[in-house]
Structure 1
Amino acid sequence: MSQDTAAEITTTTVSTQFGDISISRSGAGAPLVMLHGGGPGASALANYRDNLPAFVDDFEVILPDQPGFGDSYIPTEADLLDKGITNITVEALLEALDNAGIDRFHLMGNSLGGAAAIAMAIAAPTRVLKLILMAPGGGWFPEGPRPTEGQKMMFRYYNGEGPTLKKMKDFVSMMVADPRQFDAASIQKRYDASLDPRHIAFYHEYNNAFAKRRGMDPLWRDVHKITAPTLLLWGRDDRTITLAGAGVMLANIRNVQMHVFGNCGHWVQVERKAEFERLVLDFLAE
């Protein structure tokens, strides 16, 4: 167990039958599980640490590293091909939350984590109180070329000559509408995190499975099964999970509302931080 005293974050490792899941926790109140996106250098704390102060007074924030990311276990190539990353994540996280004593919870997911959040809300409807989805994978029916510009950028990052600082700068520029908000130190930090040999090996296997399985699992076919009140958040200028594909969720989730941020790309929690936090708090307080 480690204690981050500055941020008042406690991180533990929770065992499951699939492998160990690293879970960070902060605050007190109703559990709010926040699932991070994919991409090089991604982890729960990397994606959400700066948002914690807005939520910890009212909620116990639960930040799991999903399988393949951060300090959690690395799925095998066979499992990635057989089950796909979303099913792997749902099985492991539901068991990890059980073992961590977390029964019912609010659930948030961004991008790859948004796909897992959709699948969790469908698989365990009595456990998910409210659902926040930020440009979620899988629930989105793409219009236009596939893969998108952002997806192509992620695939290229570990291929060719491998990770470089320039590739990371290009990746961040693709994810956001205004890359000037990221200084050299923050880009360097994410680049350094992307160099973990375990994660490099995982991404090669994950990208291979992603291609063979023809992209994300088509969760959009089942979003009508979501019973939790749902808030959709999207950047109008998202080039990874494009806004044009959001209609299927608006049409089929029973209790849904949506907010679109102009001049915003894929990372709404970063690019429109204050508005994102206010919208989520208001939604959870309803």
Structure 2
Amino acid sequence: MDLDVVNMFVIAGGTLAIPILAFVASFLLWPAVLIKVYYWYWRRRLGMQLDYAEYEGYRFCYTHRGKPGSRPSILMLHGFSAHKDMWMGMVKFLPTNMHLVCVDMPGHEGTTRTNAADYSIEGQVKRIHQFVKSIHLNKKPFHLMGTSMGGNVAGVYAARYPSDLCSVTLICPAGLKDTEESTFVKRLRDLEKTNDIQKIPLIPSNPEEMEEMLKLCSFVRFKIPQQILQGLVSVRIPHNDFYREVFMELVKEDSRHSLHDNMHLISTPLQVIWGKQDQVLDVSGAAALAKALPGCQVDLLDNCGHTVVMERPRKAANLVVDFINRHQNSGSSSNKKLS
């Protein structure tokens, strides 16, 4: 091989190695910054705009794309210890002409962190209703979607404010009882005996616990390098006390089964999506909702765990859009018959 060609490969290799090494070093030293850059990049790529709304001094942080039109807007509520950007995998597969809104739940990410009263399910429902009013989202009925904790909130919201909504999607929602115990719930039973709130499986404090949490939440198994796990857990650790405060509110008597206690009040068209291999909240919860609300649509996903939004984003997006379109079209047909 010509010496000049060899030199070219050496220079090219060195040129690539420098940013790669810089990235790895930066992730180890400033993981939070790089993760924010990552989400900023995907927001720009997907056309999601970051914004803030205020209601009597309380600030909500949210992202949005598009404007209200002939199709219903979609408001998305994330789960415990997550944030608005967790929906981006699913946003990628939602039509660009649909108005989308993803909000940080009370105390999470950029939304105001106040006190325990706001972190109960009823407290979160009230805050989300304030957010809806602050951005005038309920000028016409919208579609509400929530996963896990957010699914619990979405279900109770539907029971409290039916006139705001045209339809609802609950993805592996919390707040049900009389279902099969999941792996996560069994671990919580063991923790109750020791009363050790430092070992809640959804609040990791080191890379090993982070890896266990990912295994618990996802059916798909990824081999994640130790450095990446360390970076992920480093971002969460500063918020762990807050997550524990929220979690202790969610397991109190008035929040633990709030969806179960209010589901009979849901009159809005309802869709339930659940991963069959969910280890956090057992899939038997879907049958409980179907029994209480016979008209609801249930979609169970094979080879999928608790994080449906990240494990099966395309499938989930298609199911939601089909559900919205079906009910919008049936509503239009009914109106034509009445006229």
Please give the range of the TM-score, normalised by the shorter of the 2 chains: 0.7 to 0.9
Q: CA deviation at 1:233?
A: 0.6
Q: Output aligned runs, 1:148-187, within 5 Å.
A: 148-149=185-186, 156=198, 163-180=205-222
Q: Is the 8 A contact 2:181 2:282 kept in 1?
A: no
Identity %: 20
Q: Is the 8 A contact 1:224 1:254 kept in 2?
A: no
What secondary structure does 1:180 align onto?
coil
Unpaired segments ≥5 residues, structure 1: none
**Match in the other structure for 2:77:** 35
257-266 or 271-280, which deviates more: 271-280
2:91 to 25, 45, 52: 52
**Match in the other structure for 1:15:** 54
Q: CA deviation at 1:200?
A: 2.2
**Match in the other structure for 1:219:** 259
Q: Output aligned runs, 1:64-213, within 5 Å.
A: 64-77=103-116, 79=117, 85-103=120-138, 104-144=141-181, 148-149=185-186, 156=198, 163-180=205-222, 190-195=232-237, 197=238, 199-213=239-253
Find out whether 1:279 has 2:279 as its counterpart.
Answer: no
Q: CA deviation at 1:19?
A: 2.2
Q: Is the 8 A contact 2:121 2:258 kept in 1?
A: no
138-147 or 227-236, which deviates more: 138-147
Structure (1/2) with the larger helix percentage: 2
- Structure-2-length-normalised TM-score: 0.72
- State the Cα deviation string for residues 69-93 of structure 1 (Å, max 9, x = none): 111112313x26xxx5211111111
Question: 2:282 is aligned with what amino acid?
Answer: T
What secondary structure does 2:63 align onto?
strand
Q: Is the 8 A contact 1:32 1:61 kept in 2?
A: yes
Structure (1/2) with the larger strand percentage: 1
- Structure-1-length-normalised TM-score: 0.84
Alpha-carbon distance between aligned partners in 1 of 2:310 and 2:216, rounded to the nearest angstrom: 14
Considering only CA atoms, is the larger Rg found in Structure 1 or Structure 2? 2
Unpaired segments ≥5 residues, structure 2: 1-39, 192-196, 327-339
Cα RMSD for the two superposed structures: 2.9
Q: Is the 8 A contact 1:132 1:232 kept in 2?
A: yes
Alpha-carbon distance between aligned partners in 2 of 1:183 and 1:58, rounded to the nearest angstrom: 38
What is the count of residue pairs matched by the alignment? Answer: 274
- State the Cα deviation string for residues 229-266 of structure 1 (Å, max 9, x = none): 11111111111110123322101125301111121110
What secondary structure does 1:48 align onto?
helix
